[in-house]
Chains A and B, each alone.
Chain A
């Protein structure tokens, strides 16, 4: 048996104008979990896409069990026993679990002269594979009705069903709750015992330390090195990823929470399964964290406050005055801003410039003669935002889709700052942002609080939640189960105990 199950050597890949991979290598020991780490844009996904045949590499070789192989498309990769669980799931929500699992390779049977799909076999087999990954939902269930974590398991079951010897996990946990992450790790451990070799891409250090045997670090499209996971501390990994030491991840708290400015009383959704009877208070200059598992209805609660989702009963007060919020415009007029969790889905306007992305919510404020846009002043506001938040861009005319995730997020923050809200709700503000940029976002959040803005921050990353928030509200299944306000109570265990009450 070869020393390595799979080896990539001297991989180079250029896109027009950028060298995405420069002489990168990767060596996977058989039956191990190999973590591939690096900041966003380091080239991890690109490397995996080269391995999986989605991209064609400009140079480089792939060895499987010591034999050189060619991979020109995903189909060939699968024939070699390589499977990939994609970062952004690409399932077909309107079809059943079984159909998704067997997409492109449906079992068939003969019906006279023609071949038809053998549904019975398909669903029986699907049930078997789902069992294999310790999931027991109906193979005939429509995929769209499952949670993201469950969909992920379907993808994994798919990889397992292909008898894959090498499975690539491209940031599988970015949208999973802690429970679902546990389930995923159980599956991965099982696979490891069966001798499956895995590549695991993730930003989350604690996960890497728990699951990985080996770690390969990449930076700016180049290979930095490979280590045994237990040889490195978290700080060392981060230092290797960013090429510099990150001393203080979270800014030193200098914000001083003041008087209560917003109060939510007994807010209930029109859906009984969503948020119910939630009450909390928010102070000036405070960072109020919202913790809980995915599905705890935190996002729904915030969207309810902001007028995007239906509210059946309950009140929202601002400076003691009751608000009537039927539409985001009402919330904005009351001085509330919302940065949504799904940046691409409901945050950025991908085909528009930075200027238009910032300007969209302030056009009402900058008008000449009541209806002509005052481009001069709008440009000033946008330029202000770019320099204040140090958004890296050649000009405000640049399309936002050309920016990195962190810079896109900063553009959205500056959209709301242009509106000068008193309360800014940030839903998973650092999701999908690399380590360096995360730090900048933390600084921005902290600065805003220091200036007296009240911040609500939803975060599923425990460390971030505890590191940033002055107080933490924890939700579980639509109910507010606890508020942690003493610094000594701010522990992971406390949050988890509130988050798993039902």
Chain B
């Protein structure tokens, strides 16, 4: 089918509408307010993006299998709190475990990921073997994890982290913060899993048509469990990263981030009906969100009104995205 030039331009505008609008907004902000186009600000936006991207990549796996994960936000808080309790200075007056030496930062990160992964496995088990809809299963896990966080921390905020931990956010390699490097590595690994392993292909197959996947010999149940396990580990890592950046954590850390992550994925092109979505989708979605927030802040838009702007972006972005698939019929 030969398309006219005008049709091509029209298609391009529709397919990339949100990104184009975002681009214009960013340029406009850059020209009207100084300091927006500075290395410092850019680094800031990238820092904000890094933990959000890790969350979005975790949730993307769930969304691609036509699921979702509401427990992400609470899992982040849980992860942040565990990391916090393990990495406080000896001389900090409110130390959670007063007599415990702070553990190695890497060990702490891995422990957090492992603990979260256990909870993700449980969620996955209910989804895969007991056929509980992901929406409900992760809702249940959200409540459970929040309760455990509250009991574990006795609802007190944590602070007084060792320098090694806060350095995860502030330290730099090649002039770029470690936090951003972590996100880049996670994105690379996720890309590899999505495109180069059986697990990734099975994930798309299950999202595309679960019955057909079963018939084609895809280990549907194991794949689903692995997806929720992997996602939970990534939320834990995100909690660890957010704690490092803030220099403290409370059980409220990450609250509501799951919704933003799901929205970011869908804006980038991960289809909630399953089977479609790439790593680049998550990156684009998260970038759109963080750039929007930063631009609005620089333009002096009321912080409360920013929520309205985000909501409108979701409406518009998803309507345009759905158009692509409807037009194909």
Contact = CB atoms under 8 A, between A and B. Distances in A.
B205 A340 contact: no
Contact of A360 (B205, B271, B328): B205
A371 B215 contact: no
Nearest to B195: A373
B217 A352 contact: no
Contacts, number: 80
Interface stretch (A144-152, A361-369, A462-470): A361-369
Interface residues of B, number: 27
Contact of B213 (A18, A306, A360, A367): A360
Contacts of B198: 363-364, 367, 371, 373
A251 interface: no
Nearest to A355: B201
Interface string A340-360: 100001111111100010011
B75 interface: no
B196 interface: yes
A356 B276 contact: no
Contacts of A396: none
A306 B328 CA distance: 35
A35 interface: no
B204 to A, nearest CB: 6
Interface in A1-59: 16-18
A372 interface: yes
Interface of B is mostly: helix
B198 to A, nearest CB: 4
Chain A, interface size: which category? 20 to 34
A349 B208 contact: yes
Interface string A369-388: 00111010000000000000
B215 A338 contact: yes
A346 B197 CA distance: 23
Nearest to B275: A351
A346 B208 contact: no
A83 interface: no
Contact of A351 (B211, B217, B271): B271
Interface of B: 1, 195-198, 201-202, 204-205, 207-209, 211-219, 271, 274-276, 327-328
29 contacts: A16-B1, A306-B215, A308-B214, A328-B215, A332-B217, A346-B211, A346-B212, A346-B214, A346-B215, A347-B212, A349-B204, A349-B212, A349-B213, A351-B207, A351-B208, A351-B271, A351-B276, A352-B204, A352-B208, A356-B204, A360-B213, A360-B218, A361-B216, A361-B217, A363-B198, A364-B198, A367-B198, A373-B196, A415-B216
Given A340-B212, A346-B211, A360-B201, 7 more contacts: A16-B327, A329-B219, A345-B211, A348-B212, A359-B201, A361-B218, A363-B201
State the 4 A-B residue pairs at the shortest beta-carbon distance, nearest first. Answer: A17-B1, A349-B208, A346-B211, A351-B275
